[in-house]
A and B are shown apart, each in its own frame.
Chain A
């Protein structure tokens, strides 16, 4: 009844692909003889999307809009409590931010720190994924369970545990390494390094599991054919596996960039809110400190907008990569 007149099986299938559910919605107003349930069809997806759009609109899009709004107004504690009227500032907050040396320093630290985290996470994750394919069930299960444990650990407990491991007085790491009472969180780089270790520890499992699943999804015949043709191990990895895994690697990389650029809990907890004199601040924590610790809400919002724009640029790069791979959204 829904099949368009005079179409073959092939086209029927294509029609259903295009139209999704090939059945017209009962009671829709397309009561003509022509079986073209356009109305019902075009309304159903929106019906399905409605809950998501309501939630995202109200709790994501609207707050983003408000974030932009706050960033162009003068907004401090006085305005929040309603004591003073808000005044429009235009780009005043932004020019104040951009002329602040600390902002640029924090921005640089954020980019370098995120890059270091992404590279380390990917290297560790991919190496261990390959390792997983080369071992028997028991070591594989051990590594998998350990990784899942690290993955499952909440960021806040992970942060406190790593801090304890590297504690100057009572931590086991300094004893094992014979470092005496070296305080890891005092130096700028050693503090960042400590946070990096924790971030890699809790985020490599996602990379490992995903890449491992991807390698397993490569059909055995392909590997077999390569082996029959006399390809070496390295050659198989480089010429067969890596190209096939490219889409996964792109997804995993972008996801890591997004996560590591936004690291908050680890820095906040492990360096006590940004380190001594703010030496370990990253943008996210910086925005939070500006807004909530010193009540400069508009300045915090402006930093938030800057972060948003940077991540937007990353997204655009991602989309271009997807396009180039010819993947259809």
Chain B
């Protein structure tokens, strides 16, 4: 074994000694307990969605069920236009994710790879724009949508969500674009690549993990929204989205918990799938953003 190798190995040992602490078992037990507590609401949601009505309205709720049933789901799907709502939600979320990713990518490239007047001012404005309370703008946005003739259309949901997710996306993508070495850019031009080609064939794939991380945020904000759907889709119910379908079951005085939990499950699953798909990239993406 070479001395260098030995040296490396002793360093590795040292490092593992650093990470292996006396309280590791306790730490691992804590981690598992916390994980169980954090996951419990979701477990209860799915469980209640499958419970028969009698067990849900029981004073002695049990953390399991012996007679799982699809009744609650049936009630949810039997709702008129439920499939339509689901589809609308998907269309809105996907449109927002794609549009804001592309627009934010271009903008982030502009503010990191170029020096121009007003650059810093713009950056500060993007930051300030993140602070804007979306809900407060419901009032003027209602009038804007009315004037554009877009009330009761999906555009009235897509457009504002693109606008609201852009500032954060640009701010976050900055770090990723910055992380691509200048030398790469020069090399690309040396090899005769055009600016457009560099942008889409070299920079874009390199920044993709960052785009995934930011798209999580725009997806969530679009998927979760119920205020815009409630305020802008006023007469044409066929243009409504999932949260509206959920609230049908939720009457403050006497909620149909089974229906609410089933609808919640249906609404949560696509986001969970999306998260699991991008999970690795999300963690490395956030790491990239903060390493900057």
Contact = CB atoms under 8 A, between A and B. Distances in A.
Contact of B132 (A139, A287, A308): A308
B107 A52 contact: yes
A22 B257 contact: no
A148 B275 contact: yes
Contacts of B131: 258, 308, 311-312, 314-315
Interface stretch (A88-96, A99-107, A153-161, A188-196): A153-161
A319 B123 CA distance: 11
B153 interface: no
Contacts of B116: 42, 45-46
A224 B15 contact: yes
Interface in A265-311: 265, 269, 272, 284-285, 287-288, 291-292, 297, 300-301, 303-305, 307-308, 311
A49 B58 CA distance: 58
B31 A139 contact: yes
B155 to A, nearest CB: 11
A135 B24 contact: yes
B35 A160 contact: no
B3 interface: no
Contacts of B135: 262, 264, 284-285, 287-288
Contact of B220 (A152, A165, A172): A152
Contacts of B263: 157
A156 B261 CA distance: 11
Contacts of A262: 133-135
B35 A23 contact: no
A21 B198 contact: yes
Interface string A167-204: 10111100100000000000000000000000001000
Give the contact-size bracket for chain A.
35 or more
Contacts of A144: 279, 283
A85 interface: no
Interface stretch (B42-50, B65-73, B77-85, B204-212): B42-50
Given A59-B159, A170-B56, A224-B18, A20 B186 contact: no
A52 B42 CA distance: 37
Interface in B192-224: 194-195, 198, 220, 223-224
Contact of A158 (B27, B41, B63, B189): B41
B186 A300 contact: no
A98 interface: no
Contacts of A134: 19, 21, 23-24, 27
B113 to A, nearest CB: 4
Contacts of B274: 152
17 contacts: A48-B110, A49-B110, A49-B122, A52-B166, A62-B140, A62-B144, A135-B27, A139-B35, A149-B42, A155-B224, A156-B264, A157-B264, A165-B41, A170-B59, A223-B18, A261-B133, A315-B128
Interface residues of B, number: 113
Interface in A105-125: none
A49 B107 contact: yes
Nearest to A151: B275
A34 interface: no
A143 interface: yes
Interface of B: 11, 14-15, 18-19, 21, 23-24, 27-28, 30-32, 34-36, 38-39, 41-42, 44-45, 48, 56-61, 63, 102-104, 106-107, 109-111, 113-117, 119-120, 122-124, 127-141, 143-144, 159-160, 162-164, 166-167, 170, 182-183, 185-186, 189, 194-195, 198, 220, 223-224, 226-227, 231, 243, 246-247, 250, 252, 255, 257, 260-261, 263-264, 267-268, 271-272, 274-276, 279, 282-284, 286-287, 290-291
Given A154-B267, A300-B139, 12 more contacts: A49-B110, A66-B144, A67-B136, A128-B31, A152-B271, A152-B274, A153-B42, A154-B243, A209-B282, A262-B133, A262-B134, A311-B133
A228 interface: yes
Contacts of B35: 139, 142-143, 145-147
Closest A-B pairs by Cβ, 10 of them = A304-B136, A213-B287, A59-B163, A157-B264, A66-B140, A311-B131, A48-B110, A20-B114, A52-B107, A45-B114
Contacts of B14: 224, 227-228
B56 to A, nearest CB: 6
A243 interface: no
Contacts of A45: 110-111, 113-114, 116, 119
A237 interface: no
